[in-house]
A = this chain, B = another copy of it.
Amino acid sequence: MSLVVVGSIAFDSVKTPFGERERMLGGAAVHFSLAASFFTDVRVVGPVGDDFGDEQYEVLHGRGVITDDVEHVDGGQTFFWKAHYEYDMNVAHTEDTQLGVFGEFEPKLSEDSRNAGNLFLANIQPDVQRGVREQCTGARFAGLDSMNLWIDTARDSLVKTIGGVDLVFLNDAEIRMLTEQPNLVRAAREIMDMGPSVVVAKQGEYGAALFTQDGFFALPAFPLDTVTDPTGAGDSFAGGFLGYLAAQDDWQDDAALRRAMTYGSVLASFNVEEFGTERVARLTSDEIDERFERFREITALEAAPA
């Protein structure tokens, strides 16, 4: 089944200890849709300005992403983000943010997108996310990402929006912050009490944990000896996860959710190997399958001999 993602499309200028790039294609919806494109048909919804052109579309089309609902705002500028990372890659140091056309974004979904089988709400103001969720009446499942800013400034709206989705992707600090509960197991349960049946705690270099009503699964991050640029890792993770899940008959099956965690981790691990979308744009399904098997190897645990 198809998957529609609503969120930011951006230009990112990023400097890390391993190099720098100016105005690379980026944004949550871009990283998500490229990752998800390996598993299902993906439609991306987000605003761009006059500075967004063929070169950027080619990256998306190169992976078969459907861009009919990319909204071109005449005279506008695409969302721009500039940041650097120190050796501790867990923290991005933002130097500049220019919202541009993203600041006034009011998603208007085409009929095809409204009828998409599954939905992902990338990190946007929670009122806007809820509006999109209400447009996509037919979606089998909806996933959501958010951030500390909205927990701080729009908590009630975020809780209401979470009440209308099935899967929540947050990092563990955000899960604790939203629930004011320091224990992650209890905090995840409190988020499930708001409505969702699945909570995914993103843990950066430590991997991710999956909480469901009666299940738990955790997966380490892939051990890389070079992380070139962590930008978009979380969105690539969500894209691999939900792209895989959108293609399954029973998306709530425990084994399918565990594989979704793994495909998410596979896509995130490739994403950070190079700058921006460079690595994922030329990734192959064979490479994905190979790394999935590597994940099975590095987590395999035999029973104790009797």
Contacts and interface: CB of A to CB of B under 8 A. Distances in A.
A216 B217 CA distance: 19
Nearest to A186: B225
Interface in A283-305: 289, 292-293, 295-296, 298-304
Contacts of A184: 205, 223
Nearest to A224: B185
Contacts of A255: 302
A183 interface: yes
B298 A259 contact: no
Interface residues of A, number: 40
A131 interface: no
Contacts of A259: 301-302, 304
A218 B207 contact: yes
A227 interface: yes
Contacts of A298: 216-218
A223 B172 CA distance: 13
A219 B87 contact: no
Contacts of A225: 183, 185-186, 189
Given A206-B203, A220-B209, A220-B220, A258 B185 contact: no
Interface in A191-213: 203, 205-207, 209
Contact of A303 (B206, B209, B217, B296): B296
A277 interface: no
Contacts of A258: 300-302
Contact of A296 (B88, B296, B301): B301
Interface string A220-252: 100111110000000000000000000000000
Nearest to A292: B304
Nearest to A208: B220
A295 B299 contact: no
A182 interface: yes
Given A189-B225, A255-B302, A292-B304, 9 more contacts: A88-B182, A209-B223, A216-B223, A217-B300, A219-B220, A219-B301, A220-B220, A289-B304, A299-B299
The 10 closest A-B pairs by CB, nearest first: A218-B220, A87-B182, A206-B206, A185-B225, A185-B223, A216-B223, A255-B302, A216-B298, A186-B225, A299-B299
